[in-house]
């Protein structure tokens, strides 16, 4: 297996810069998700690692070796696309074994490795079936099998579950993570779906306009978003922002939100007065009659185990995830308590976190 290191990687298509000076490391056996909206440069980054696109500048290292300009076939990487093309005239066994056949591996060895792979993916019972009659999930497993059978140094996957319906997708998310736990192959996985990234990845790189906004574990990205963009992209509903104008000083443990004092985790830098945004996740808001921050209920969305209640505070709309056992009237006045340990604070001009 292998470590992938990307150093100041850049890709321009004419004047347009699709990937801007990205640097990150995927440790041996780690699963990295490149996450972001359409057009943010995820696929271009992946294609450069695969060798399907040459960098404009920067380098790519596989296990310490500079492979930036090596041909794709010389990189020992398996690429799983969204639209997996299986050979329709071959059965499952032949489809999985095909990459080995073209590498000149002996027939006996191919048989053993195909059977091992099928066992890993729990598709041993369909090995002699034609691929044309297979359901979506099994087709995807065969496509994965074809990638795994080569025992490549790492896997690159570009929205491999993109064509599956929601139910199958959930099953495959679970299966892919299980598979990763078993084979520990270094993996880079492109997705625009935060749930897939959070459920599968050890590390997530959140991308925006060709830039990596934050690189970290799912927990770091969720609990300590580095920017308003990340805070807004991750979470459902996303983080709430309360915008206000103030200055802060290093060491401050509270902030005045236009007359309402809100406790904060310790501030680590001075900030001249300007527009700030207090960030709070919906599950970190509690209703309390004695709370100083008040608002009126705008709407409620019942979700069974809990509900999302939208409250207009006069400083912005806040969505709170609260127990489902209380019914709220539209227009009802409520007090909102924010969990001070879980708050984020952003400088609106730069969009960066300042806590």
> Which residues of this chain interact with ligand ATP, rule CB under 6 A?
13, 16, 18, 36, 38-44, 192
Nearer to ligand ATP, 16 or 71 (CB): 16
Nearer to ligand ATP, 40 or 310 (CB): 40
Instruction: At 270, give phi and psi (nearest 5°).
Output: -85, 145
Q: Are the beta carbons of 200 and 172 closer than 8 angstroms?
A: no
**CA distance linking residue 48 with residue 56, whole number of Å:** 10
**CA distance linking residue 281 with residue 236, whole number of Å:** 9
Residues across the chain: 355
Who contacts 69 (Cβ-Cβ below 8 Å, separation ≥6)?
54
Name the minimum Å distance from CB 45 to ligand ATP: 7
Peptide bond into 237 cis (omega under 30): yes
Name the minimum Å distance from CB 46 to ligand ATP: 8
Name the minimum Å distance from CB 34 to ligand ATP: 8
Nearer to ligand ATP, 16 or 325 (CB): 16
Name the minimum Å distance from CB 17 to ligand ATP: 9
Q: What is the dihedral sign for C-alpha 255, 261, 262, 263?
A: positive
State the DSSP string of 210-273.
Answer: TEEEEEE-HHHHHHS-SBHHHHHHSTTTT-EEEEEEEEE-TT--EEEETTEEEE-SPP-S-EEE
Nearer to ligand ATP, 44 or 313 (CB): 44
Name the minimum Å distance from CB 152 to ligand ATP: 21
In the bound state, the residue with its beta carbon closest to ligand ATP is: 43
Nearer to ligand ATP, 18 or 345 (CB): 18
Nearer to ligand ATP, 42 or 75 (CB): 42
Name the minimum Å distance from CB 212 to ligand ATP: 12
């Amino acid at each position: 297996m292998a470590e992938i290191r990307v150093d100041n990687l850049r890709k321009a298509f004419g004047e347009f810069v699709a990937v801007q000076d990205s640097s990150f490391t995927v440790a041996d056996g780690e699963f990295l998700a490149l996450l972001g909206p359409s057009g943010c440069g995820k696929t271009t980054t992946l294609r450069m690692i695969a060798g399907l696109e040459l960098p404009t500048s920067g380098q790519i290292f596989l296990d310490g070796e500079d492979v930036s300009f090596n041909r794709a076939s010389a990189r020992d990487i398996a690429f799983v696309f969204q639209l997996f093309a299986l050979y329709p005239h071959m059965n499952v066994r032949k489809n999985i074994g095909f990459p080995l056949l073209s590498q000149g591996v002996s027939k006996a060895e191919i048989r053993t490795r195909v059977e091992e792979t099928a066992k890993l993916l729990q598709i041993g019972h369909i090995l002699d079936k034609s691929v044309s009659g297979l359901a979506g999930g099994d087709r995807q497993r065969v496509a994965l099998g074809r990638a795994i059978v080569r025992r490549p140094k790492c896997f690159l996957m570009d929205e491999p579950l993109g064509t599956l319906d929601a139910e199958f997708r959930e099953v495959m998310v679970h299966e892919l993570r299980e598979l990763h736990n078993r084979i520990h192959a270094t993996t880079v996985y492109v997705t625009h779906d935060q749930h897939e990234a959070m459920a599968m990845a050890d590390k997530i790189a959140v991308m925006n306009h060709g830039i990596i906004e934050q690189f970290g574990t799912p927990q770091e990205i969720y609990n300590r978003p580095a920017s308003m963009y990340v805070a807004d992209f991750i979470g459902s509903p996303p983080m709430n922002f309360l915008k206000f104008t103030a200055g802060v000083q290093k060491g401050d443990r509270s902030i005045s939100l236009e007359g309402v004092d809100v406790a904060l985790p310790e501030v680590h830098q001075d900030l001249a007065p300007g527009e700030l945004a207090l960030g709070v996740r919906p599950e970190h808001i509690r209703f309390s009659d004695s709370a100083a921050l008040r608002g009126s209920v705008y709407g409620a969305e019942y979700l069974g185990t809990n509900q999302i209640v939208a409250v207009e505070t006069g400083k912005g709309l806040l969505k709170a995830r609260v127990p489902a056992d209380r019914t709220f009237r539209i227009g009802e006045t409520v007090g909102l308590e924010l969990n001070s340990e879980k708050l984020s604070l952003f400088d609106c001009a730069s969009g960066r976190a300042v806590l």
